[in-house]
Amino acid sequence: MKSANAASRCVVVTGLGAICALGATVAETWAATRDGKSGITEHLFDPGPNGPPPHTTPAALVEGDVVGMLESALGRRVGASLDPFSMFALKCSHEALDAAGLLGSGSLGGAAVVLGHGFAGIHTLEQSYERFYGQKLARVHPLTVPRVMVSAPASAVAMEFGIRGPVFAVSSACASSGHAIAQGAALIGAGGTEIAIVGGSEAIATAACLRAWEGLQAMSPTTCRPFSQGRDGMVIGEGGGAMVLESLDHATARGAKIIAELSGVGLSSDAFHWTQPSLEGAVSAMSAALDQAKARDARRILISTHGTGTPLNDKNEAAAIHSVFGGRAKDHPIIATKSAHGHLIGAASVVQGVIGLMALADGSAPPILNWLGPDPECDLDLVLGEARAIDAEALLLNAFAFGGLNTCLVFRRWA
Amino acid sequence: MATLDDELLDLIAQEALIDRAKLSREATLADIGLDSVDVVSVVFAVEEKYSIEIPEDAFKETANLGQFLDILESLIEKQKS
């Protein structure tokens, strides 16, 4: 069947936003990543008088007064209605729309918002349940539901910027914002909208939630060392990322500065295991994205790996890259920025996408941190030590979530 | 010892995420940007802290923070007596 014109519309990126442990803007985040700075430090998590004793664990948390930053960006009070995961989403969406030249443009009425989150308003949920179960108070805070619901950030962005098109949240654990980007692109491709604000956010660094992650035996007690010998797990991060996607026609007509083309989307499910990845699932998503982008034979592709630093993920991802690229696997520089900003779960894919697009534009690949030495099962062209000059023509952005949900996206540098 | 005014203003600052320095009796609710969602939060916190019940229409005629405090304080006093 011949594809309709609308379904093959070219989708481009015209704005980026980010907030994470490395900075509250794209510029700060990119500079820190490129310069090899780490946002991972030890933090004390105190569950309060009704919980077990406080404990210390590494995490990559957003520094500074988020409410103040948001109020100064929006030029208004933020108020009591937002959980931190909504604040992160608002902050980076504002930055992306501003960068795209769309704030106050009057052209957002029919736009879409698709945001991904692995969890929801965990800070609010934990506080409310602590009152209920811990302090045994029967009444729960009246704003608990709107603060906790997984679609709250999407609603907050729509209300803030007057966006009245398709607005919703998607969830697929660590691939959530990858699916959000894919879904936003699909809406534009199908002709449902010209502009989509896509991305995701996560704020799950609470005393009880971190204990839940530790229970999975996937957390490092030290730090995140992707593809390294002796790697022992992931480190939780927090924050959010946003991209403005537009149809090429719309972006060109308004004279927007185009950052990249989203040229390939590969989505797959392992249908296999809760926490173990499968080679087939990763290979299938990467292959689909590269084939759609016609990039399989590209001379140089910057690969932003899922690279969590767990023994299983990194070994499986390295094998998948070898399987997809064969003898040319080591032609492509490998980055793994979770070693700097931690694992942002639902927001990981988009924040890594923002960093990857900055790397592509800057011609500079940021280093993988905390590497101790080679692991023969991760034999790839790792970018180590310091940033490396690259001449990549495309970015491959991998996300492989618990539960076996995979998104691979290919972005082409815009000439 | 903190006065009841101070206690309530601290609570409003905390619940509605407003800079405490901006809260004075003279400020109007519009000045400080206290919207209906913030009021729901503040009312809940005050009800819990002082074991009182605040009627839904208690703040219908309220123009400034001073009047808002007066209503809360009279309800708290009534509960005490």
Residue type (1 letter), A39? G
With contacts defined as CB-CB under 8 Å, which chain A residues touch B42? 80
Q: Is A142 in contact with B33 (Cβ distance < 8 A)?
A: no
Whole-prediction pTM value? 0.94
**Residue-by-residue pLDDT tens, chain B, 81 positions:** 579 999 999 999 998 888 899 999 999 988 888 888 889 899 999 998 998 999 888 888 888 999 999 999 999 998 877
Q: Is A341 a catalytic residue?
A: no
The pLDDT value recorded for residue A79 is 81
The pLDDT value recorded for residue A7 is 45
Q: What is the ipTM of this complex?
A: 0.77
CB pairs under 8 A between A and B: 35
Q: Is A43 a catalytic residue?
A: no
With contacts defined as CB-CB under 8 Å, which chain A residues touch B21? none
**Residue-by-residue pLDDT tens, chain A, 415 positions:** 333 444 468 999 999 999 999 999 999 999 999 999 999 999 999 999 999 999 999 999 999 999 999 999 999 888 888 999 999 999 999 999 999 999 998 999 999 999 999 999 999 999 999 999 999 999 999 999 999 999 999 999 999 999 999 999 999 999 999 999 999 999 999 999 999 999 999 999 999 999 999 999 899 999 999 999 999 999 999 999 999 999 999 999 999 999 999 999 999 999 999 999 999 999 999 999 999 999 999 999 999 999 999 999 999 999 999 999 999 999 999 999 999 999 999 999 999 999 999 999 999 999 999 999 999 999 999 999 999 999 999 999 999 999 999 999 999 999 8
Q: Is A174 a catalytic residue?
A: yes
CA distances A312 to A146, A174, A388, Å, are 37, 15, 27
Tell me the longest C-alpha to C-alpha distance in chain B.
34
The owner of tokens 């937002």 is A82
Per the CB < 8 A criterion, the answer to whether A167 and A197 are in contact is no
Nearest CB neighbour to B48, from listed A81, A137, A143: A137
Nearest CA in chain A to B33: A77
Nearest CB neighbour to A142, from listed B17, B32, B40: B40
The catalytic position among A94, A117, A306, A341 is A306
Q: Is A143 in contact with B40 (Cβ distance < 8 A)?
A: yes
- CA B15, CA A227: separation in Å to the nearest integer? 45
Nearest CA in chain A to B30: A77
The pLDDT value recorded for residue A227 is 98
DSSP-based helix, strand, coil % in chain B, nearest 5: 65, 0, 35
The catalytic position among A94, A179, A341, A343 is A343
Q: What is the DSSP string of A186-200?
A: HHHHTTS-SEEEEEE
Q: Is A79 in contact with B17 (Cβ distance < 8 A)?
A: yes
With contacts defined as CB-CB under 8 Å, which chain B residues touch A144? none
Nearest CB neighbour to A67, from listed B17, B32, B42: B17
Residue of A216, A252, A246, A249 whose CA lies nearest to A234: A216
Per the CB < 8 A criterion, the answer to whether A143 and B40 are in contact is yes
CA distances A370 to A222, A227, A244, A338, A384, Å, are 10, 10, 32, 11, 9
Q: Is A77 in contact with B17 (Cβ distance < 8 A)?
A: yes
